[in-house]
Structure 1
Amino acid sequence: MDDNLLLSFEGALAHQADFERELEPFLQALEAGAGEWMPDIVKGKRPQSYSRAAIWRILKEERGERSTSVGLYRKKWPMLDMSLRLRLPPLPSSLQIWLDVQPLSLFSKTEECWRFIEMVRSWAIHYPAPYASAHSMADRELAGFPHFGREAEVSRRDGFDKVYEVCWLNVFGSKLVESVGRERMLSTPARLVEELPNGSVLLILWPTPADFASDDARVAQARAHVHLRPDLDFDTVLRRLRARSAALVPVVPHFHPDLAPLLSRLPDTFAISERQQKIAELNVFRPPEPEEWLPAALPSDVESQERVLSSYGELSEGLVAALHIHLPSLMDATPESLTDLDFHLWRENFPERYTRELIDAHTAPAVGAYLGGILVRRLGGEWVPRKKLEESQVRVGERVWLPFLRARRYMQSRQSLLDYSLTQFFHEVERFRS
C-alpha cells in the first residue's frame, strides 16, 4: 500500500433537522474539489451509485437516536475511503469527515492540491471547526495523532488545545487562534495563511503534501511549529521531524530466499508508518535450519498402514474444511498453499489466540498431516507411519522427514510460525529430493 492523504475534520452544524439544506455546501465543495478521486459509490446497509438522492436516503435509513452516517468510496484507482457522520441532539450537533485518498503521490500536482484546499476552505467557512488537518497518514501516525502522547481520556477531553503539530493543511479554530495570538498566527512563515470570515485560520505549510518528508519541507514545518509554539526548540523539533522522514525512507526487501514468499506479505499488516522498519527487521531474519528429519527411516510399527494413512487424510481434510472459506488454495495442496496457511495463522495469531488444548489435540496434528500430504503429492514422498504421531515420517530422497514434529514446533507461538514455517520446510525437503 502507498501512503495516503488523510483529512480529519469536525465542524459545527447549524440546521441539523434539514439534511439537504445543511449539507448543500459540503456536497458542492466535494463535487467541485474531488477531481480524480471523486466518489462513485455511497454505502449504508448496501452500496449504491453516487448521487445526492442516495446520500439523503442513506442518512435517513441510518439515523439513530444521536447520529447518522454514510460512506463514500471509489471502485477504481485512485482509492477513496471517506465517511460523513452527523452527530445530533442531545449531543452537540456536528459534521465529522474522515477522508483518505490513496496514493499520496496524486497530490504532487499543484492544481490537485489547490482544488483540495478550496474544498476544505469552503467546509471550514460553513462548518466552523476547532481544528482540522490534512497530511500524510504515515507521518500522522509517527506524530502520534490524535493523542500526541496523552492518555486517551485526556485527549478526548482537551482535544487539540495547543499546536501539537503543524500539518500540510491546517484549520485552526478561533479559540485556538486566540490562545496562540491572532497576530502571531497570521504571521506564521508558511505557503498560505488566511483568516476566514468566522475567525478561524487556514494555514497551508508547503505547496504540495506529497514531498512532506523532504528536508526543505521539514525545515519549513519546524519553523512554523516553533513560531506558533515559542516554548519549543527549533533544533529539537527539526531533529524529530528528520527522524520521522528517515523512518519512512523505502527499504529494499532482500528476505531469506526460502521465506521470501511469506515474509513479503507481512509488512502490509503493520501500520503504514512502521512498514519500512519491519522490512529492515525481516531482511536480517534468519530462521533455524530445519532439524525435523532423520538419515534413515524408523520402521513402521502400526498394525494397519492403510487405516493410519486414512486417519492422516481425515486430519488433513478437517483442516481444509475448517479454513477453505478463508484459504481456498488449501484445496489445491501446493507449496503456495503452505505459504497461504503460514500467513493466515500468523496474521490471526492463531497459536496465542486459541487454547493450547485445541492446538495440541487438533490443529497441530491436522497441520502435520496436511504438510506430509503435500510432501507425498508434490515431491514424490512416501509415508512411513508410526504409532507415535511425531515419529511418523515421509521418505523423500535419501532422508526421512517428520511433518508432525515440525507442526508441533510450528504451533508454539506467533514467532514460531516464522521460525518453523511450512514454507521453509517444504523448500528444504525439495532440495534433498534427489
Structure 2
Amino acid sequence: MKMLDAHGSSVDDNLLLSFEGAFDQMAEVEREVEPFLQALDACAGQWMPDIVRGKRRRKFSREAVWEALKERRDENGTSIGLYRAHSPELDMSLRLGFPPLAPKLRIWIDVKPLSLFGEAGECRRFIDMVRAWAIHYPVPYASAHSMADRELAGFPHFGREAEVSRRDGFDKVYEVCWLNIFGPRLVEGVGRERMLSTPAHLVEELPNGSVLLVVRPTAADFASEEARAEQTRAHVHLRPDLDFDTVLNSLRERSAALAPVEPHFLPDLAPLLSRLPDEFANSERQRRIAELNAFRPPAPEEWLPAALPSDVENAERTRSHYDDLAEGLMAALHTKVPGITEETPESLTDLDFYFWRENFPERYTRELIDSHTAPALGAYLGGVLVRRLGGTWVPRSKLEESQVCVGNRVWLPFLRARRYMQSRQALLDYSLTQFFREAERHRS
C-alpha cells in the first residue's frame, strides 16, 4: 500500500495538530482508544486515514488499529501511524505511554494541503473532533495551526533552552494558534473570567475545566491582515503584559516571510535550483527562493583557449583509466542517482542535487573526496562532454590538466570537479550543470 508523504516536496503548507492528553491506565486499551476512533470516524471527512501501520501496513479498520497497537506494544507503551494513499496527504500518529512513565495519549496530525481548511465546514468538523478528544483525554495544552507559521513562532521552545522547555512545557500563553485547548492550570493562571472573555470566533468552557479557543472560522487564511489582527487581539487579551503593536508587527513579519515568491532562476541553473527550495522547512522556503533568484555563480574559468599537448606515454590507456573512474562513480551511485548511467546533461543535474542534498563535501573526509570522489567526477564530467558535445580527450599526466576539446575551447573537467567538491556552497558556485551549459554554448 502506497502512502503519500505529508512532508514531501510541495509548496503547500500543512495543518498540524499536536495533542498530549491523559487517559485511564487501568482501563483496557481498546476502551480508551474507542473515543479517539469515534471522533475520527465522525469528523475526519476528506482526510480520513486509509492505512494503518504497526509493524506492517494494513488497510484502515478498527480491527487493524487493534492489531497494530498490540504488535507494537512494549513495556513503555504502544504506537501506530495512520496515513492516506491519495490526496489530501496525511501523516498521523497515536501513541500511548504506560507506567512507570506518566500515562499519556499523544495524537499528532499533519494534513496537507492547508487550503483544505479554508472551508468553514471542514474546520467545524475538525473543531468538533478535537473538542471530543479534549473532553475525554484532558490536556495541559493542545493546538492546531499552520506548520510553517508554527516553525516561525519557535514551537515548542519559544526561545527557551530545550531543557527548560521540556521541564516547564507550555506554562504560559507564548502563542495563540488558530485552535487552542487551554488546560485548567493555564486557565487559572490567566484567570477563568479573562480567558472566557477572549475576543475570538469561539471560546467554550469544557466539562473538565479546559477552554477551547478558536481564533477565526477557518485555518487556511491565518496570514491575512484580518487574521493577524484577530490573533493579536486574542494574544494580548490573554497576556496583558504584551504590547499590541509589537505582537502585530511580529505576526506581519511572519506573514511576509511566508508570502509566495515567484521563482525566476538563472536559466542555466534552473533545473538544479528549482529542486532546492523543497529541501527546506516550509517557514524558510520563500526566503530561499528569493535568495536563489538572486544567485549568480562565477562564470566557469576551467578552460583554455588552446589545448596543451598530451604528455602521457599511452593516451589510449589513460583514456581507459578515465572510463574506469567514471564507471566506478556510476557503480557507487546508481541506486541513489538512477539517471547517472545515462551520462546526460540531466544526470549532471541529478549529481549536483544529490551532492548538495547530502552535503557531501562536508560530511565525508577530505582524503576520500580528493583521492576518489573528485577524480571520478572529473572523469564522468569529461565523459559527458565527449558523448554529448562531441568532445575529444587530451590526456595529461597531471590529472587537473587533462582536457576535453569542444568547439573553440578546451575544458578542464578534473579541475572543475576539485573546485566543486570544496564545500556545499561550491557545489552551486561550480556546478556540473553550469559547466556543461557553458561548454555547450561554445560547441561551434
TM-score, normalised by the number of residues in structure 1: 0.99
Q: Is the 8 A contact 1:350 1:414 kept in 2?
A: yes
Encode CA deviations 1:138-171: one digit per residue, 9 max, x unaligned.
0000000000000000000000000000000000
Q: Which runs of 5+ in 2 are unaligned?
A: 1-9
- Out of 309, 319, 334, the position equivalent to 2:319 is 309
Deviation at 1:19, TM superposition (A): 1.4
**Deviation per CA, 1:263-296, whole angstroms, max 9, x where unpaired?**
1111111110000000011111100000000011
2:397 pairs with 1:381: no
The 8 Å contact of residues 16 and 22 in structure 1, kept in 2 or not, is answered as no
Paired position in structure 2 for 1:188: 198
> How far does residue 16 in structure 1 lie from its aligned partner after superposition?
5.4
Q: 1:351 is matched with which residue?
A: 361
| Cα distance, 1:256 vs structure 2 | 1.1
Alignment correspondent of 1:279: 289
Whether the 8 Å CA contact 2:50–2:82 is kept in 1: the answer is yes
Name the counterpart of 1:245: 255
Distance 2:41 2:327 in 1: 53
In structure 2, what is the equivalent of residue 205 of structure 1? 215
Query: Deviations along 1:227-266, whole A, 9 cap, x unmatched?
Result: 0000000010001000100101100111111111111111
Q: What's the CA shift string for 1:17-60, capped at 9, x where partnerless?
A: 51110011000000111101010011122211101111111111
Does 2:104 correspond to 1:84?
Answer: no
Q: Distance in 1 between matches of 2:22 and 2:102?
A: 8
Distance 2:321 2:107 in 1: 56
Counterpart check, 1:144 vs 2:154: yes
**SS at structure 2 position matched to 1:98:** strand
Q: Tell me the amino acid that sits aligned with residue 292 of structure 2.
A: L
CA distance in 2, matches of 1:313, 1:53: 57
Residues 38-94 of structure 1 deviation map (CA, whole Å, 9 limit, x = unaligned)? 100111222111011111111111112112100000011110000111111111101
- Work out which of the residue numbers 326, 336, 352 in structure 2 matches 1:326: 336
For 1:355-374, list aligned pairs within 5 A: 355-374=365-384
| 1:15 shift after superposition | 3.7
Report which stretch shifted further, 357-366 or 303-312. Answer: 303-312
Q: How many residues align?
A: 434
The SS at the match of 2:267 is: coil
Q: Which amino acid aligns with 2:395?
A: P
CA-atom RMSD in angstroms: 0.7
Question: What residue number does 1:289 align with?
Answer: 299
**SS in structure 2 of the partner of residue 259 of structure 1:** helix
Which residue among 329, 340, 363 is the counterpart of 2:350?
340
Write the distance in 1 (CA, Å) between the matches of 2:347 and 2:37: 47
Please state whether the residue corresponding to 2:268 is helix, strand or coil: coil
User: Using the alignment, how far apart are the partners of 2:220 and 2:392 within structure 1?
Assistant: 57
The answer to whether 1:124 aligns with 2:134 is yes
Distance 1:16 1:53 in 2: 22
State the match for 1:298 in structure 2: 308
Q: Residue 266 of structure 2: SS of its match in structure 1?
A: coil
Q: Distance in 1 between matches of 2:158 and 2:189?
A: 19
Query: How many Å separate the matches in 1 of 2:263 and 2:27?
Result: 54
Matched, 1:63 2:44: no
In structure 2, how many angstroms separate the alpha carbons of the residues matched to 1:64 and 1:320? 43
Aligned equivalents of 1:29, 1:335: Cα separation in 2: 52
Residues in 1 aligned to 2:407 and 2:150: alpha-carbon distance in whole angstroms: 54
Task: Give yes or no for contact 1:4–1:100 (8 Å, CA) kept in 2.
Answer: yes
Distance 2:275 2:213 in 1: 39
Aligned to 1:418: 428
Match of 1:167 in 2: 177
Aligned letter for 1:395?
A: C
CA contact 2:25–2:98 (8 Å) conserved in 1 = no
Q: For the residues of structure 1 that align with 2:298 and 2:27, how far apart are their CA atoms?
A: 65
The aligned counterpart of 2:7 is none
Q: 1:235 aligned to 238, 245, 260, which one?
A: 245
- Structure 1, unmatched stretches of 5+, are none
> Under a length normalisation based on structure 2, what TM-score does the superposition of the two structures give?
0.97
Q: Distance between the aligned counterparts of 2:44 and 2:388, measured in 1?
A: 52
- The letter of the residue matching 2:394 is V
Write out aligned runs for 1:212-223 (5 A): 212-223=222-233
C-alpha separation in 2, matches of 1:108 and 1:66: 39
Corresponding residue for residue 6 of structure 1 = 16
- The farther-off stretch of 43-52 and 400-409 is 43-52
My pick for the range that moved more, 57-66 or 216-225, is 57-66
CA apart distance, 1:414: 0.4
Match of 2:115 in 1: 105
Does the 8 Å CA contact 1:16/1:88 hold for their aligned counterparts?
A: no
Amino acid at match of 2:398: K
- C-alpha separation between the residues in 1 aligned to 2:378 and 2:56? 42
Provide runs of 4+ in structure 1 moved above 6 Å.
none
